């Protein structure tokens, strides 16, 4: 919970910025993908729900999210 609340706040901030200015859309998409990777990991660790390619899903969403965050900050 201590980690999830700041992450959700960051996502809300990024979405709010993207709604005001379109140049923040990659930032909002990146934070949503980053949160998705964390949710997949949390679901796997806490509830034990796993599928065959869970590691691929985590790394794909994590890396793509980080790439979008970094490129959006560099573009500002």
In order along its 76 residues, the chain shows pLDDT tens digits of 688 889 889 999 999 999 999 999 999 999 999 999 988 888 888 888 778 888 999 999 999 999 999 999 887 6
What is the pTM for the complete model shown? 0.85
Predicted local confidence at residue 15, as pLDDT: 95
- Residue 62's Cβ-count burial label (10 Å; 0-12, 13-18, 19+) is middle
**Helix, strand, coil percentages in the chain from 3-state DSSP, rounded to 5:** 85, 0, 15
């Amino acid at each position: 919970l201590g980690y999830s609340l700041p992450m959700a706040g960051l996502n809300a901030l990024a979405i709010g910025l993207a709604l005001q200015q379109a140049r923040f859309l990659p930032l909002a998409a990146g934070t949503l993908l980053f949160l998705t990777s964390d949710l997949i990991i949390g679901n796997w660790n806490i509830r034990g729900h796993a599928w065959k390619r869970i590691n691929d899903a985590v790394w794909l969403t994590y890396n793509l999210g980080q790439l979008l965050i970094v490129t959006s900050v560099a573009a500002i």
